[in-house]
Amino acid sequence: NPLALKIVAASIKDLFDGNVAEFVKHQTWIFGDFSEMLKQQFKRLSDLEKQILRFLVSEANAVSLEDVNNKLPESLRTSEIMEALRSLIHRDWIQTASSKDKKSGQTLYMVQRLVKKYVEKYQLPKHGSS
């Protein structure tokens, strides 16, 4: 998972001054708190990025820019949505699905399994809770 690798790499750089051997001595800490690291990364996302991510998680299949555009408030410009998608791709929260849909020629967007599980468990509203 690219997001997991980025988080671990950043942790090695930040916590161990890039010393991989030192990191290996303490690896259980880093992996034990992986959901906490995802939580911190999630907090850094813009509200629009979070909206898009939650929408993508709720979809069973990869979706097009048009699908994302139709789900979000009409007041948002397509350029804002495209920038948020680009940012999510750059941060490895989402990925393009086999780059092009052969039938429509549209690029499709989806979340990786690890991200989907995290968002479903920790970032979606709980139904039936008071």
Instruction: Tell me: do 65 and 118 sit in the same domain.
Output: yes
- Which range has the top average pLDDT, 10-14, 16-20, 65-69, 111-115? 65-69
Query: Which pair of tokens denotes residue 73?
Result: 């408030």
Phi, psi of 64 (to 5 degrees): -90, 170
Q: For the domain that residue 75 is a member of, what is the CATH number?
A: 1.10.10.10
d(CA 60, CA 25): 39
Contact 30, 23 (CB under 8 A): yes
List, as one string, the DSSP characters of 26-50: THHHHHHTHHHHHHHHHHTS-HHHH
Average pLDDT estimate for 12-38: 74
Give the tens place of pLDDT for each residue, 67-94: 999 999 888 999 999 999 999 999 889 9
Q: What whole-number percentage of the chain has pLDDT above 70?
A: 82
Instruction: Tell me: do 31 and 85 sit in the same domain.
Output: no
Would you say residue 130 lies in a domain?
Answer: no
Would you say residue 15 lies in a domain?
Answer: yes
Average pLDDT estimate for 4-33: 74
Instruction: Tell me: do 61 and 83 sit in the same domain.
Output: yes
Instruction: Tell me: do 20 and 51 sit in the same domain.
Output: no
Q: Please give the mean pLDDT across all residues of the chain.
A: 82
Would you say residue 128 lies in a domain?
Answer: no
d(CA 130, CA 62): 32
Instruction: Tell me: do 29 and 86 sit in the same domain.
Output: no
Instruction: Tell me: do 113 and 57 sit in the same domain.
Output: yes
Give the tens place of pLDDT for each residue, 86-116: 999 998 899 998 655 466 678 899 998 878 8
Q: Give the range of the structural domain holding residue 112, as residue numbers without chain letter.
A: 46-123
What is the count of structural domains for the chain?
2
Whether the full predicted model's pTM is greater than 0.75, yes or no, is no
Q: Which pLDDT score is estimated for 127?
A: 45
8-state DSSP, 119: I
